[in-house]
Structures are given as C-alpha cells and as structure tokens.
C-alpha cells in the first residue's frame, strides 16, 4: 500500500476540475469517496481532482484511506457484466480493471464487443433506410409541386412538355426507390432480430 500511495502521490500535480464542494471536503470520508470512485470504474487519478477541489478549504486527501475504499469499489466494477455493458456501449476498455481484476472484465468486454459490432450494423442499416425515406419524401413533395405547375394557367406548351417529362422521371424514381425502401426495411428488421438473438446468447454466457 505504501508503494502504491507514493505512486498516487506523485501523480497529484496533474490538472483537474472541482469534484467536491466545501461541505463535502470538510466532512470527507475518504474511504467512502474512494469506494464511490472505484465502483463506477474511475481511475485513481480522480484523487487529484479531489485534492484540487479541497485544497481551497485546506483539506488534504487521506491517500491510504482513499485507496482502501477504491480497491473495494473497483472489485465490484470489474465484472464480466460491466465489461459487456461498456463494450456494448462502444466505450474503450477500462484500464482500472488491471491485474487480477482484468480477466472477468475482459471476458465480458469481448462478448460486448461482438454485440457492439452488430449494433453498428443495425445502425448502418437504419441510417441507409432513413436516407432513402428522406429522399422519397423530398421527391414526393417535388412531384406534387410539378403536378400543380402543369395545370396552372398561363403555362406554355413547351414548359408543360418539360414538366410532364420531369413528372414521369420522378414517378419512375419514386417507384424504384419504393422497392429499395422495402428491401432496406427488411434488412433493418433482419439486423434487429439478429441483434436480439445474439444478445440473448451473449448475456447467457456472462
């Protein structure tokens, strides 16, 4: 603990932002503060931010107490379930889970990475569908506008002929895109179903 305390002490010099207010600093339970930081997977460098916050009030963190609480908290964080959740959300591997704590967290993280890749595939499919639907909406509005123009008074025969051609092109584009939208909706549904099946299987392995 003494060696680790020295390492943390040497790190107390990095810039940080206020994490505790005056009342919290003056009544600080450093073991509890360490536990709360560890249980959510924060790095021990968080202690420097606490030091910065409390220095204004003349309060110095109790490093050994903080680390004792931190170690208790980080054990609860570094689980396979949390590893899965972090990876599933697209977050980086949390290096707070080191040494003996790494194995379980890394196992869950690997499973979560598989889920995240499928989430990305679903997101890509949904993005493509949204793009197709947006283009379809714009073309339908444009088609309606041109249909109104073609029957308006004072439209020359040349202009009417051009509008008729543009209307036919839009109608053809809309029909063709309708097919692609249906196909893309099927792709979205398929990716969504697979994600549900995959996650059920992956979670059962935790």
Report yes or no on whether pTM surpasses 0.85: no
Answer yes or no: are the C-beta atoms of 16 and 61 closer than 8 Å: no
123 and 190 together in one domain: yes
Q: What confidence tens digit (pLDDT) does each residue in 119-133 have? A: 999 999 999 999 999
Supply the Cα-derived Rg of the chain in whole angstroms. Answer: 30
Domain boundary pick from 77, 106, 135: 77
In a domain, 72, yes or no: yes
Position 13 pLDDT exceeds 70: no
122 and 197 together in one domain: yes
71 and 142 together in one domain: no
66 and 136 together in one domain: no
- Banded pLDDT at 181 (limits 50, 70, 90): very high
Q: Residues 107, 73, 90, 196: what is their CA dihedral angle, to the nearest 10 degrees?
A: 60
Domain boundary pick from 57, 77, 97: 77
Domain boundary pick from 15, 45, 77: 77
The span from the CA of 2 to the CA of 12, in Å, is 15
- The residue-averaged pLDDT of 57-64 equals 96
70 and 122 together in one domain: no
Domain of residue 25: give its range: 2-77
In a domain, 92, yes or no: no
Cβ neighbours of 153 (radius 10 Å): 4
- Banded pLDDT at 142 (limits 50, 70, 90): very high
In a domain, 73, yes or no: yes
Q: What confidence tens digit (pLDDT) does each residue in 17-37 have? A: 578 999 999 999 999 999 999
Domains: count for the chain: 2
């Amino acid at each position: 603990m003494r060696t680790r305390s020295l390492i943390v002490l040497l790190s107390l010099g990095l810039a940080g932002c206020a994490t505790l207010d005056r009342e919290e600093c003056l009544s600080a339970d450093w073991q509890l503060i360490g536990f709360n930081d560890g249980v959510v997977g924060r790095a021990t460098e968080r202690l420097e931010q606490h030091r910065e916050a409390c220095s204004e009030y003349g309060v110095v963190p109790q490093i050994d107490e903080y680390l004792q609480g931190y170690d208790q908290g980080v054990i609860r964080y570094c689980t396979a379930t949390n590893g899965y959740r972090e990876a599933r959300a697209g977050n980086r591997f949390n290096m707070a889970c080191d040494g003996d704590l790494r194995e379980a967290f890394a196992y869950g993280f690997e499973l979560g990475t598989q889920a995240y890749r499928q989430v990305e595939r679903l997101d890509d499919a949904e993005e493509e569908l949204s793009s197709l639907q947006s283009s379809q909406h714009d073309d339908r509005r444009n088609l309606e506008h041109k249909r109104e123009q073609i029957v308006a008074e004072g439209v020359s025969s040349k202009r009417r002929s051009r509008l008729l051609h543009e209307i036919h092109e839009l109608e053809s584009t809309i029909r063709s895109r309708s097919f692609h939208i249906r196909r893309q909706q099927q792709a979205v549904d398929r990716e969504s179903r697979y994600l549900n099946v995959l996650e059920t299987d992956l979670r059962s392995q935790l």
